Structure 1
């Protein structure tokens, strides 16, 4: 495990971190489940009541905390690489790919596989989608994205699709060093860049400019959320 575990709440961060770290050792055997939560609580000497207070929805909140810890660790490592000058020769698309690669390199494949099974359940599908969106957001933030309009949403929506596809490929990849996954990632990023190029050409055309002044003008008033609960954004007054 390489992630730095983060607490989902503020009541007792150290207890939450210890509980999550202990739970990760049980997930390969019992999945993200109540059995895992109970075993982890007993192992670190936390009462069932406190464990439930720290992770109210049990296994789901545990899995989400693990996922967020991975996002945070990716951002930390990406910042370290950038500070060392490792990204200076990279094109922007290559920086995006590098952030995605880092995010997967620090993850435990079996824990991610168990999480995918949990979030494939209908009652948890929205949590899984939110986790993928959160990773896309963390990646764009790590790259220093400053967009505050409709592009904030389109960037994250597009990258969420790429990230989700790459994760599924990576879970089944047994190539040396996951090289096949990184090649798949490069192809998906390439597809996105080609789409963005075509989109830019269309918007720069006379028809595109006309649409921007007419049917698409409302998009110009869309703004990025100012806080986590501010979705789907706001409009200028």
Structure 2
């Protein structure tokens, strides 16, 4: 499940989005958001130790939440699985409130000291898509699916930033092509596994992959005595 944004942080984010097109995800923007909302600076600094960077992260996670909520309400019964994945990537892009905020965020997370944060956000989006669509992988495929979809989503966003087609039709076609490429690879893997000779040759790799497990996840609970650790 996506992380829930603190109400005050969400309020600061709304105020910041007015300034981001002009000042980026900067300290100037953060200071303006604090001022515009009348938030105590000490409280704002506690909530967002890294200032506008934390608001940029909250902006991305807000989009993730909107995507998941839409995925849970859409009827996918007539769609192929590849179409469901493509729809999820499209919904995530459609959940973006401001193209300029994403453009500025792309610049922000391209900085060397923030690149890991940007990669983590994209990975988190891919993870949410697979989880919401019911992925049950328990081996190396858990990682390869998310790594591949991270590449699809990241490239789709970059394409979308430069897309001036009507209703972003070029972006949706781009996503469909990328997803089809991914599914073509999955079909090749299935054919290898179905071929007696090739499956024997690939057996050592398959065995090694089966020994790789996804990270353990602690269920989120809201009960007395539970502790999720400081984050």
TM-score w.r.t. length of structure 1: 0.86
Which ranges in structure 1 are unaligned for 5 or more consecutive residues?
Answer: 8-12, 229-237
Which ranges in structure 2 are unaligned for 5 or more consecutive residues?
Answer: 219-231
Q: Counterparts of 1:203 and 1:209 in 2: how far apart (Å)? A: 5
Q: Is the 8 A contact 2:9 2:55 kept in 1?
A: no
Counterpart of 1:142 in structure 2 is 132
Q: Is the 8 A contact 1:6 1:17 kept in 2?
A: no
Q: Provide the secondary structure at the position in 1 that maps to 2:138.
A: coil
Q: Counterparts of 1:195 and 1:212 in 2: how far apart (Å)? A: 15
Q: Provide the secondary structure at the position in 1 that maps to 2:179.
A: helix
1:82-108 CA-to-partner distances (Å, cap 9, x unmatched) read xxxx32211110011111101101202
Counterpart of 1:32 in structure 2 is 25
- Shift of residue 5, structure 1, vs aligned partner: 9.6
Q: Counterparts of 2:3 and 2:164 in 1: how far apart (Å)? A: 27
Q: Provide the secondary structure at the position in 2 that maps to 1:87.
A: coil
Q: Provide the secondary structure at the position in 2 that maps to 1:223.
A: coil
- The size of the alignment, in residue pairs, is 216
- Shift of residue 150, structure 1, vs aligned partner: 1.3
TM-score w.r.t. length of structure 2: 0.88
Q: Provide the secondary structure at the position in 2 that maps to 1:96.
A: helix
Q: Counterparts of 2:204 and 2:73 in 1: how far apart (Å)? A: 45
Counterpart of 1:42 in structure 2 is 35
User: How much is the aligned-residue C-alpha RMSD, in angstroms?
Assistant: 1.8
- Which residues in structure 2 correspond to 1:195-206 (within 5 Å)? 195-206=185-196
Residue 129 (structure 1) aligned with residue 119 (structure 2)? yes
Q: Provide the secondary structure at the position in 1 that maps to 2:49.
A: coil
Q: Provide the secondary structure at the position in 1 that maps to 2:216.
A: coil
Counterpart of 1:91 in structure 2 is 80
Q: Is the 8 A contact 1:5 1:20 kept in 2?
A: no
Residue 155 (structure 1) aligned with residue 145 (structure 2)? yes
Residue 173 (structure 1) aligned with residue 138 (structure 2)? no
- Shift of residue 207, structure 1, vs aligned partner: 4.5
Q: Counterparts of 1:45 and 1:72 in 2: how far apart (Å)? A: 26
- 1:164 maps to which of 145, 150, 154: 154
Q: Counterparts of 2:108 and 2:30 in 1: how far apart (Å)? A: 14
Q: Is the 8 A contact 1:28 1:114 kept in 2?
A: yes
- 2:14 maps to which of 14, 21, 28: 21
Residue 110 (structure 1) aligned with residue 100 (structure 2)? yes
Q: Counterparts of 1:94 and 1:45 in 2: how far apart (Å)? A: 45
Q: Counterparts of 1:67 and 1:158 in 2: how far apart (Å)? A: 19
Q: Is the 8 A contact 1:109 1:171 kept in 2?
A: yes
Q: Is the 8 A contact 1:72 1:138 kept in 2?
A: no
The 3 A distance-change label for structure 1 pair 35 and 121 is same
Counterpart of 2:53 in structure 1 is 60
Q: Is the 8 A contact 1:6 1:65 kept in 2?
A: no
Q: Provide the secondary structure at the position in 2 that maps to 1:222.
A: coil
